[in-house]
C-alpha cells in the first residue's frame, strides 16, 4: 500500500511540475528511473573520410574522466532516428547521416564503486544501440568544440584508433573493435 501511495504521489508531482516523459524526466526523475530499469541509448560512431572516429571528452561522477562515443538516452515514445539526430545536434551542432540499423548492440553494466554517487544503482545498466554515422558537412561542427584540448567536457577530437583513456564503461568497444570497424562507412 505504501508503494502504491508513493507512486501516486510521484505521478502527481510530475503533473504539478510539468514533467513529461516524452520530453525527459529531469535529472532527479532520470536518476531514479535508472535505478529501476535499464537505460536505452544510442551511441553515434562518427567516422570521417580518413576513417578516424570522433570522440568526446567526458568528466562526471557517474562515468569518470575519459574519451567516449557520444550518445544520448531515448525518451518515452521517441523514435530511434529522432534521438540519433537530436543527439547529433546536441553533441556536434550538426546533422549526420547514419545507417538505418544499429551496427552493434551492447548491454553495459557499471560495476565499479563511484565515490560521489549516493545511490550506487543509478545509471548502472545500459542497452546501447551503436550507429555508424558521418557528417553531411564536417564544416558544420561547432567552432568552440574544435578549440585546443583543455579537458573540458564535450570537447571533440578525431582518433585513428581508440585511445587508452577511453571510459571504463565503453571498454566493450575496444573488445569488439575488429567486428565494429568492418561495419563503418
The pLDDT assigned to 170 comes to 94
What are the distances in angstroms from CA 111 to CA 105, 125, 130?
Answer: 19, 9, 21
The pLDDT assigned to 44 comes to 97
10 Å CB burial of residue 139 (0-12, 13-18, 19+) is exposed
pTM as predicted: 0.89
Q: What is the DSSP string of 15-67?
A: HHTT-BTTTB-HHHHHHHHTTTSPEEEEEEEEB-TTS-EEEEEEEETTTEEEE
CA pair distance 167, 39, nearest whole angstrom: 17
What's the grid cell of residue 165? 583513456
Question: What does the DSSP 8-state code read for residue 107?
Answer: E
What are the distances in angstroms from CA 8 to CA 1, 16, 34, 118, 139?
Answer: 11, 12, 19, 24, 49
The pLDDT assigned to 120 comes to 87
Regions of the chain where pLDDT drops below 70 = 139-151
The pLDDT tens digits of the residues spanning 25-54 come to 888 888 899 899 999 999 999 999 899 999
Amino acid at each position: 500500500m505504501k508503494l502504491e501511495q508513493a507512486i501516486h504521489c510521484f505521478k502527481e508531482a510530475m503533473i504539478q511540475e510539468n514533467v513529461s516523459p516524452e520530453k525527459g524526466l529531469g535529472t532527479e526523475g532520470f536518476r531514479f528511473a535508472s535505478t529501476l530499469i535499464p537505460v536505452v541509448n544510442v551511441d553515434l560512431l562518427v567516422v570521417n573520410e580518413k576513417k578516424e572516429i570522433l570522440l568526446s571528452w567526458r568528466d562526471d561522477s557517474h562515468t569518470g574522466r575519459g574519451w567516449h562515443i557520444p550518445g544520448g538516452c531515448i525518451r518515452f515514445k521517441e523514435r530511434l532516428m529522432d534521438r540519433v539526430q537530436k543527439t547529433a545536434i546536441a553533441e556536434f551542432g550538426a546533422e549526420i547521416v547514419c545507417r538505418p540499423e544499429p551496427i552493434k548492440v551492447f548491454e553495459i553494466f557499471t560495476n565499479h564503486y563511484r565515490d560521489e554517487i549516493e545511490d550506487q544503482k543509478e545509471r548502472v545498466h545500459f542497452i546501447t544501440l551503436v550507429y555508424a554515422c558521418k557528417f553531411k558537412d564536417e564544416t558544420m561542427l561547432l567552432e568552440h568544440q574544435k578549440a585546443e584540448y583543455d579537458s573540458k567536457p564535450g570537447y571533440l577530437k578525431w582518433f585513428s584508433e581508440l585511445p587508452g583513456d577511453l571510459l571504463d564503461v565503453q571498454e566493450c568497444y575496444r573488445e569488439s573493435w575488429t567486428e565494429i570497424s568492418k561495419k563503418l562507412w
